Amino acid sequence: MSYDLSHSLLHLLLMSIPYFYEPFSDFSHIALSENSVHHALNVLRMKPGSELNVTNGRGDSARCRIIGTSKKECHIEVLDSHSSSNKQQASKLHIAISFTKNPARIEWFLEKATEIGIQMITPLITKRSEKIHFKKERFEKIMISAMLQSQQTFLPVLNEATLLEEVIKGPELLKCIAHCEEDKDRIQLKDCIEAQKDTLILIGPEGDFTPEEIHLCLQHQCKPVSLGRNRLRTETAGLFACVVFNAQIATI
C-alpha cells in the first residue's frame, strides 16, 4: 500500500513539473535553447534548484534540475531519464486532411489532434482543396506546444502537402476514406478500426472528394467510412476521426 501511495505521489510530482522540448539524441547532452531559457527564467521565474522535464518528441524524457543561470543561459543537470521510444501504441494513426481556407481552423485541428494522440498528419491536396499556405515552422510550434501541454513525449510527424494519389500509396495496412456521398455504401468508422493495424484516414475538402477521387481510393483498397449523420466541417471531421480511433483502440 505504501508503495502505491509513493508511486502516486511521484506521479503527481512529475505532473506538476513543467515540460520543455529539445531535440536531443543523447541524455548526456541535453541543453536548453534560447526560447526555452527565456520561458524558464522570464515566464515561469524558475531559479537554481527548480526542476523541469525535457523531452525530444521521440519518446525520450529526462527530469532535470537547474544548477546555474545567467541573463541568457540556464545550466541543467539530469536527475533521471526515461525512454519509451520503442513503446508507441501498436496501431498508429495517420490522418491526411485537406486544409481549409481559414488557417486558424486547421491550426485548431493540429493542436487538438496532437493533444488527443496521433502519429502522423499530412496536408492533403485534392481537386477541390483550397490553396495551401503551408507554414511548417508555425504548425510544428503549435504541435510542440500541444505535446508539452498534454505532457506527452511523442511529437506527431507533419508531412509536406501531398497529392491524394501519392498518399493512398502509403504503407498503412488499413486505409479509410471519409466521404459524404450518401447513395454509396459506407460503414461506421468505429466498426472499421482493427487492432495492430496502422491506419490512414482521408478527410476531404469542404466540397468533399470528387466521384473520380472516391473511385480511385476504392481501387487502392480504401474502405469508405461514415463519420455519423451530421455534416461536419473539415477540421471537425479530422478531430472526430482522431477521437474515434483512439477510443476504439483503447477498447480492443
CATH T-level assignment (fold) for domain 93-251: Alpha/beta knot (3.40.1280)
DSSP the chain: -HHHHHHHHHHHHHHHSPEEE---S-GGG----HHHHHIIIIIS---TT-EEEEE-SBSEEEEEEEEEE-SS-EEEEEEEEEE-TT-S-SS-EEEEEPPPSSHHHHHHHHHHHHHH--SEEEEEE-TTPPPP---HHHHHHHHHHHHHHTT-SBPPEEPPPEEHHHHTTS--SEEEEE---TTS--EEGGGT--TT--EEEEE--TT---HHHHHHHHHTTPEEEE--SSPPPHHHHHHHHHHHHHHHHHH-
pTM: 0.88
**pLDDT value at position 10?**
47
Encode pLDDT of 158-170 as tens digits: 999 999 999 999 9
d(CA 83, CA 60): 4
CATH code for the part of the protein at 2-83 = 2.40.240.20
Length of the chain as a residue count: 252
In tens digits, what is the pLDDT along the chain, a chain of 252 residues? 444 555 454 454 555 799 999 999 999 889 999 999 999 999 999 999 999 999 999 999 999 999 999 888 999 999 999 998 666 777 999 999 999 888 899 999 999 999 999 999 999 999 998 887 788 999 999 999 999 999 999 999 999 999 999 999 999 999 999 999 888 899 999 999 998 899 999 999 988 999 999 999 999 999 999 999 898 999 999 999 999 999 998 877
The domain locations on the chain are 2-83, 93-251
Encode pLDDT of 23-36 as tens digits: 999 998 899 999 99
**pLDDT value at position 101?**
86
